[in-house]
């Protein structure tokens, strides 16, 4: 079979959630971010597994994701939508019983004009300048909004993966300034914020990338393995080039393995001539450019070429691969394409 195999350990995701739950203040609820189809790993399977582990609050990016997740989770858990109540979302929010995180006075007005008794939350901008109400806008609507009983008031840290960054303390102070004295549950931290300590935890944490084995949660259990079949092995002589653009040239006689995966499978071209694949614990350099359906790998140093080489495995997790490609683990995970044969271990089907 020429299809690469993506193995996903749902029990490891659950274990990572439990570890981050323990890392949160024991009085704090721990939610779970499952946007982008569970970071590319199937939001329904991931969320059902996390619900069984104890998660009762889930977060998605847009209402359409929430509708799909509601079908997978059933009526119990809360599903919160980061993009808030956009025009055209009303039916989806009502039908799937979603909780929009309101980002502006305009969204607030839309919500109460169309769904006046429906649950909602508030998102505040404390310095990231991406989503949420800034201080002046919040001051203008806070009395009304808080009087309607929001389920959550939240913000998001810009630099939580850098513990010493001055923006963390500045955003924490701004969140206190905007919300101290309210009785509504508050949330500031995703994975990185949890690791910054109790001062950042408030009433709810929202781990995301750490659930899936990514930095900055260094203690995370590995979640994914990607094994790519070898289609062909050929001999090359010194001076011969490999792949598009002749960007890799053999320095000595050797062997090249051609593997069945490429950028159509989410293996970004930035990996070209930089990433490693693995035969067990033995690293094999990617030789030449990533093409649409194929990779070429230098296997000259192997005594025997296996039937498949691993791109993600215990020897190389998503962040190590991302570093080689000049990106972040989030992009590696969420880029993984639909052609893989996906095998799920543990969790809830």
The catalytic site residues sit at 35, 244
Residue 348 has pLDDT above 80, yes or no: no
Residue 295 has pLDDT above 70, yes or no: yes
Q: Which of 49, 319, 82 is nearest to 210 (CA)?
A: 319
Q: Which CATH class is domain 10-212?
A: alpha beta
Q: In this predicted structure, what is the pLDDT of residue 26? A: 77
Same fold, 10-212 and 224-345: no
How many whole angstroms separate alpha carbon 19 and alpha carbon 15? 6
Helix (H, G, I), strand (E, B) or coil at 60: strand
Helix (H) / strand (E) containing 123: strand 121-123
pLDDT exceeding 90 applies to what percent of the chain? 96
Q: In this predicted structure, what is the pLDDT of residue 27? A: 77
Average pLDDT value for residue range 233-253: 96
pLDDT in tens, 63-102: 999 999 999 999 999 999 999 999 999 999 999 999 999 9
Helix (H, G, I), strand (E, B) or coil at 299: coil
Q: Which of 214, 209, 206, 183 is nearest to 80 (CA)?
A: 206
Q: In this predicted structure, what is the pLDDT of residue 349? A: 63
Query: Between 2.130.10.10, 1.20.1280.50, 2.40.37.10, 3.30.9.10, what CATH number should domain 224-345 receive?
Result: 2.40.37.10
Q: Is the pTM value of this prediction over 0.85?
A: yes
Q: In this predicted structure, what is the pLDDT of residue 69? A: 98
pLDDT in tens, 275-285: 999 999 999 99
How many whole angstroms separate alpha carbon 103 and alpha carbon 125? 9
Please state the separation of Cα 315 from the chain's center in Å: 21
pLDDT in tens, 95-154: 999 999 999 999 999 999 999 999 999 999 999 999 999 999 999 999 999 999 999 999
Residues 233-263 as b/e (b if ≥16 CB within 10 A, e otherwise) read eeebeeeeebbeeeebebeeebbbbbbbbbb
Helix (H, G, I), strand (E, B) or coil at 348: coil
Average pLDDT value for residue range 12-32: 93
Cis peptide before 216 (omega within 30 of 0): yes
**Domain residue spans of the chain:** 10-212, 224-345
Q: What count of other Cβ atoms lies within 10 Å of the Cβ of residue 334? A: 16
Q: Which of 110, 147, 108 is nearest to 124 (CA)?
A: 108
How many whole angstroms separate alpha carbon 283 and alpha carbon 165? 34
């Amino acid at each position: 079979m020429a299809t690469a195999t993506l193995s996903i350990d749902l029990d490891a995701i659950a274990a990572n959630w439990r570890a981050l739950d323990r890392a949160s203040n024991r009085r704090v609820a721990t939610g779970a971010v499952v946007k982008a189809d569970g970071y590319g790993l199937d939001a329904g399977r991931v969320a059902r597994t996390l619900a069984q582990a104890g998660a009762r609050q889930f977060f998605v990016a847009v209402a359409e994701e929430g509708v799909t997740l509601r079908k997978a989770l059933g009526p119990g858990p809360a599903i919160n939508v980061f993009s808030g109540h956009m025009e055209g979302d009303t039916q989806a929010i009502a039908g799937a019983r979603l909780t929009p995180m309101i980002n502006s006075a305009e969204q607030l007005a839309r919500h109460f004009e169309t769904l006046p008794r429906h649950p909602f939350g508030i998102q505040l901008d404390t310095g990231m300048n991406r989503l949420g109400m800034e201080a002046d806008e919040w001051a203008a609507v806070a009395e009304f909004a808080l009087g309607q009983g929001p389920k959550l008031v939240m913000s998001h840290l810009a630099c939580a993966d850098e513990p010493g960054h001055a923006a963390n303390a500045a955003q924490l102070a701004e969140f206190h300034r905007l919300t101290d004295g309210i009785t509504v549950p508050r949330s500031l931290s995703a994975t990185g914020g949890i690791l910054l300590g109790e001062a950042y935890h408030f009433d709810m944490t929202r781990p995301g990338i750490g659930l899936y084995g990514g930095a900055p949660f260094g203690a995370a259990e590995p979640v994914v393995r990607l094994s790519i079949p070898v289609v062909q092995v050929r001999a090359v002589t010194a001076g011969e080039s490999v792949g598009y653009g002749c960007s890799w040239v053999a320095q000595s006689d050797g062997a090249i393995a051609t593997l069945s995966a490429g950028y159509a499978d989410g293996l970004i071209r930035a990996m070209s001539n930089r990433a490693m694949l693995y035969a067990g614990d033995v690293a094999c350099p990617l030789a030449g450019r990533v093409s649409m359906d194929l990779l070429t790998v230098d296997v000259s140093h192997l005594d025997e070429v296996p039937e498949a080489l691993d791109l993600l495995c215990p020897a190389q997790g998503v962040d190590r691969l991302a570093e080689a490609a000049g990106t972040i683990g989030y992009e590696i995970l969420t880029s993984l394409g639909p052609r893989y044969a996906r095998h799920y271990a543990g969790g809830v089907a």
